[in-house]
Amino acid sequence: GENVEQHPSTLSVQEGDSAVIKCTYSDSASNYFPWYKQELGKRPQLIIDIRSNVGEKKDQRIAVTLNKTAKHFSLHITETQPEDSAVYFCAVPQEGSARQLTFGSGTQLTVLP
Amino acid sequence: NAGVTQTPKFQVLKTGQSMTLQCAQDMNHNSMYWYRQDPGMGLRLIYYSASEGTTDKGEVPNGYNVSRLNKREFSLRLESAAPSQTSVYFCASSLWTGQGQPQHFGDGTRLSIL
């Protein structure tokens, strides 16, 4: 099955700084790459996703970049704010069964005021 | 439009008891999923239903059964609960169109097995 590695597992940044989280995957046929944010005690919520036909996608302070050759994609958060503090998960379609998603192990982002 | 609704929100069971977790979506999605999330870990797929009438095992199906009752509802049953099944359970749904689509999650069921 698909192997997804997410780094770092924890990340602390000062308010206003940028944060970058990276995921690597194994299946070169993967073509859909979502990122989810999960606040403490809440459900995971999609914050941004990208398809393999583009290399970058932005939505205000959030961006995702994709390097299909190297099989990795990254979440970029600029001008971080305390409300960005949460656990972030990447996901990749399961090899051979694109309906399924394999999730990374998560990154706990803490934005320090 | 409530999205994905899960019941109950909390439950405490004794080892060996059975229970069913309920999930319903009102987004006319064809695919539905059950995940478990253990402390400090990601989401692991238990079972999924690609469409009404079909179900398939995910990564961690042992100890669970599912029923896709109709297009809206997908239930998860624990026949004989074990302490290792203490977890937060999330139901999700998506609209499969031939390529990857975002999954929408419910608020979760926090289940403790004593």
The pLDDT averaged over each successive group of 10 residues in chain A (113 residues) is: 88 98 89 94 95 90 94 96 97 79 94 94
Q: Decide if A100 and B45 are in contact by the 8 Å CB cutoff.
A: yes
Question: Chain B: nearest CA to A44, how far in angstroms?
Answer: 6
In the numeric block, the tokens 């203490």 are attached to B86
Average pLDDT over residues B89-93: 97
Query: Measured between CB atoms, which of A6, A43, A104 is closest to B107?
Result: A43
In the numeric block, the tokens 């004794």 are attached to B14
Q: Decide if B102 and A45 are in contact by the 8 Å CB cutoff.
A: no
What's the CA gap between B18 and B25, in Å, rounded? Answer: 24
DSSP H or E stretch at residue B77: strand B74-78
**DSSP characters for B12-56?**
EE-TT--EEEEEEE-S--SEEEEEEE-TT--EEEEEEESSTT--E
Token pair of B89 as six digits: 């359970």
Residue B61 · residue B47 · CB < 8 Å: yes
Query: Measured between CB atoms, which of B43, B50, B100 is closest to A31?
Result: B100
Query: Measured between CB atoms, which of B31, B59, B104 is closest to A99?
Result: B31
Contacts of A106 in chain B (CB under 8 A): 40-42
Contacts of B50 in chain A (CB under 8 A): 99
What's the CA gap between B84 and A38, in Å, rounded? Answer: 23
Show which of residues 10-69 on chain A sit within 8 Å of chain B, judged by CB atoms: 31-32, 34, 42-46, 49, 51
pLDDT digits (tens, 9 = 90+) for B2-36: 899 999 999 999 999 999 999 999 999 999 999 99
Q: What is chain B's mean pLDDT, rounded?
A: 93
What's the CA gap between A23 and A103, in Å, rounded? Answer: 10
What's the CA gap between B28 and B41, in Å, rounded? Answer: 30
Q: Lowest-pLDDT range, A6-15, A43-52, B39-48, B63-72?
A: B39-48
pLDDT of residue B37: 96
